[in-house]
Structures are given as structure tokens and as C-alpha cells.
Structure 1
Amino acid sequence: RAGTAIVRTSVPGLRWSKGLKGRKVLEAFFRKEIAAKRQSRDSDLFSVLCHAETEDGEQFSDDDVVNHMIFLMMAAHDTSTITLSTLFYYLAKNPQWQERLREESKALGKASLDYDDLPRLEGIGMAMKEALRLCAPVPSLPRKTVKDVEYNGFFIPRGSFINVVPYFTHYMEEYWPEPEKFDPERFSDARREDKVHPYAWVPFGGGAHKCIGLHFAEMQVKAILHQVLLNYRWSVPQDYEMPVDTTSLPVPGDGLPVKLEKI
């Protein structure tokens, strides 16, 4: 969370300093593995980045590889963790949906998912999309206009910095009936409320800069939630409302205390 520091210089004990110190640990960890990864022909992303070449035969430098791997640690994992936390909260508050998804996972008859099983977990897919609507892991999308544009009567000159805010868009009543309600059926084939406008549902952004990790995220969430559904039932007190800490990315402000019951 160094990016949210008020004082952006390395003052010991403050957030920016802690962020820089943490980054140095990651840099050292990845850098010492690069030589072995460049020698290997493994299929993991670290190895692939070490061997990736442009059409002109140029490879990523060591610094490039380290930077990509550090970004991956945040981009592909913090966001999925937030999505899962939101799902656990709403499935605890809506036990009927928790049981529905549990029955769906039981029907597969296997403890671990294969790739071909993913489309069969339609309920988890809908619940995940609704969790992403209610608590977009990336709450604002910074962009810059590439040309003069007029929007809703406002003139926005070329080169203007703007923010697209999913946290606002996802609660617009003209697109989402009862926007505060957890209702995964919004994303069923019969309703598809996310299709009423090309940019009504934008947790992964849109257009040319749409996140390339959207399918990977779904695989992660389905694989993890499938395991938890088969092994645990969980709940929160009836009057519990999860506070959201939006200091950087939106996370449960109290750690999300849930009661786990082994099945």
C-alpha cells in the first residue's frame, strides 16, 4: 500500500519506506532465481518471461522480468483475494446461495477441478460476477483522453486525466435494479443485466485496456471456492455488516470474522 502514502519519501517507519523495504525483498528473491529460470524450459510464467522474445529477437532484461513478476504478485492475487473475501461475506449472509453452490460442487463428484469442469460451475460464475459488481477489487480506473471529447454536455480536452469508477457504475439504478442486493441471477442467461450497456459491468475495465487476467481470475476463484464448499460451511452473525477499508484496494476492514464449520 505504499502508493497511498502521504509522504512519498523513505522516512523510517512510514508507509512509503515500508513499501520500498518490502519491494527490495521481492527484488532480491526474484533476481536470484533468474539465472536458473533462463536455463530451464519450464512452462511457468517466470520461465516464460525469461525466454520471451520480440519479432526482432529482443528479450526482457533482468529488471524487466523482476518488475513483471512483482506486478503479477499484486495484480493477479490481491484482486482475486478481494473477490473471494467478498464472496465469502455474501455467501455467509445468504446461506441459501451457499447451499446452492455447494450442491453444484457436490454434483461434480470430484474433490479437485479439471479445466473442463470450469464451465459446469455456472452458479459460482454468477456469484463471482455479482461479488465483483458489489465490490470491484479495482475501484477506479485512471485514464487519459487521447482526443477532445464531449460527454453529457461536458467538454473534456485531449490529454485530460479522468477516472472511471466501477464502484459508482455498478450501483446505478438505471442499469441495476435493487443495486444493493446480492442477486447472482442478474448474470443468468435469462436476465444478463450486465449486457444492458457495454460498460455497465466493468470490474476488469473495458476496451483496448481490458484486463487480460479475467479468465485466470475465474479459474482461481472457482478452484478455491469449490474446495471450501465441499469441506466447510461458514456464517457470520445475522446483523453483521462487513466494513470496507478503501485505503488502497477495498478489503474487509475488520479481517472478516466468519464462523467455519467442518462438513
Structure 2
Amino acid sequence: AREQQGSDLLSMLCHATDEDGARFDDRDVVNHMIFLLAAAHDTTTGTLTNMVYNLAKHPDWQKRARVRSLEMPHELGYDELAELTELEWILKETTRLCTPIQIEPRVAVADTEVCGYFIPEGSVVVVPTLVNHQRPEIWSHPEEFDPERFGDERAEHKRHRMAWAPFGGGPHKCIGQHFAGLEIKMVLHQLLRSFEWEVPQDYIMPLDMSATPVPKDSLPVTLRRR
């Protein structure tokens, strides 16, 4: 990648320069690639897996999302992806119930106070995203899978600016949020049009939470081509 100028990200990182003409050293390139795989791949595949699981557990929502996808063209453009309303709700509800990143570490840049607790400058603060996603004063029946809570009529996610924050918030909010949403909806759109799937109703997916949430049993599903 150092020797040839390609259009892939690895090549671009190898040849990128700053305003002084300096390039990333090998360690920087490796670290950027590791971050890309973890932040842009694991989180997306984990969310897709959880959406497939939720749609298997809730066949009424799988059918509802499929009806919308069958009304749309096989190949979708940017504007058409925005019309997949049910998939948008399902994506948001899935990431509410199981966030791709469980915590958000931050450093206090100044002395401050949060909920009556003094936080001195320089303190490491960990925001437990999943806890906020389960707060009953914000979410009605927070333990239930209920994508309609994100519809305009209820809009529970707008009750607080950090009520739904699987991609973080503020100036450090994940820049890949909208791209990830488009990518996930494109994949599910094709799955819904071509397949039906199910799991036993008493099945509960066991999660490995050591990094991004992944199923310990590889999520066994019964898949049928339509």
C-alpha cells in the first residue's frame, strides 16, 4: 500500500499527509485500521444480528417491515431508503434495547456538577448508555420491544436529548451514524424481500458482552427462501 496509490482506505491512510507534508507512520496506520474494523464493522454487524433476532422473535414486525419492502424497488436510492419507516423504527428500538457500545467514557474538561455530584476537572466519567435506554420515566415499558415508540405520535426518544444515544451525543457523536443506518436498512431490505426466518418462541439469544454484543451461539435461525 505504501508503494502504490490505490483508492481503498488503507492506501489512502498510507499516503495521507498533514499540512507539513508528514505521513502516518506504520503504527498510526495500523491503529486507524483497527479502529475502523471495530467501530464501523463490529457495531454494524452486531446491530444487524440483533435486528434479525428481534424480527424472528416478533414475526408481526417482520411481516410489517416486509410489506413495506415489497412495495419498494429491489434497488433503493438514498431518498427511497428514508421511506423504510418500519425498518427505521426497528433499527432504533434494537439499538435502544442492546446498544452496540455499552458505555461512553469521557473526561471532564472543567469542574462541574451532575445530578448533585461534583465532578472535578480531569475526572474520567463513564456514561452508561444502556441504563439511560431503560429509564421508565422516559420509556414506556422499557423492557418491551416496541418500535412504534419512535413514531411521530409518541416520539419517546425526544423526551430528553440523551434519551436515545447509541451513537453518543454532543460534539463527539459518531460520524458514521447515518451511513450505518443506510447500510443496515439496505441489507435488511434485501433479506426481507428474499427470505423469512424464525426462532423458537422460547429461545433467548445469549450475548457475549466482552466487547460489542455478539451471540454466543451464532444465533441459530430457521431460514426459508420466499
Taking structure 1 as the reference length, the TM-score comes to 0.80
Deviation of the 1:177 alpha carbon? 0.4
Task: Give the Cα–Cα distance (whole angstroms) in 1 for the partners of residues 168 and 120 of structure 2.
Answer: 22
State whether structure 2 residue 163 is matched by structure 1 residue 195. no
Does the CA contact (< 8 Å) of 1:34 and 1:62 recur in 2? no
Tell me the equivalent position of 1:132.
Answer: 95
Aligned counterpart in structure 1 of residue 55 of structure 2, from 84, 88, 91: 91
1:54 has 2:22 as partner = no
Choose from 3, 27, 33 the match for 1:69: 33
1:107 equivalent in structure 2 = 71
Structure 2 counterpart of 1:139, which letter? Q
Asked if the contact 1:133–1:201 (Cα under 8 Å) also holds between the matched residues in 2, the reply is yes
Instruction: Give matches, 1:1-263, under 5 Å.
Output: 33-36=1-4, 39-40=5-6, 42=7, 44-110=8-74, 112-263=75-226
Q: Distance in 2 between matches of 1:52 and 1:96?
A: 49
Paired amino acid for 1:107: E
Aligned partners of 1:173, 1:116: CA distance in 2, in Å? 34
- State the alpha-carbon separation in 2 of the partners of residues 188 and 57 from structure 1: 49
Gaps of 5+ in 1: 1-32
Classify the secondary structure of the residue corresponding to 1:143: strand
Query: What is the identity, as a one-letter code, of the residue corresponding to 2:148?
Result: E
Select between 164-173 and 186-195 the one with higher mean Cα deviation.
186-195
Query: Which amino acid in 1 is paired with 2:72?
Result: L
Q: Deviations over 1:140-173 (max 9, x none)?
A: 1111111111122211211111210111110000
Query: What SS does structure 2 have at the residue aligned with 1:226?
Result: helix
What secondary structure does 1:35 align onto?
Answer: coil
Q: Is the 8 A contact 2:2 2:15 kept in 1?
A: no
Q: Tell me how many residue pairs correspond in the alignment.
A: 226
Distance 1:48 1:248 in 2: 28
Q: Secondary structure at the match of 1:120?
A: coil
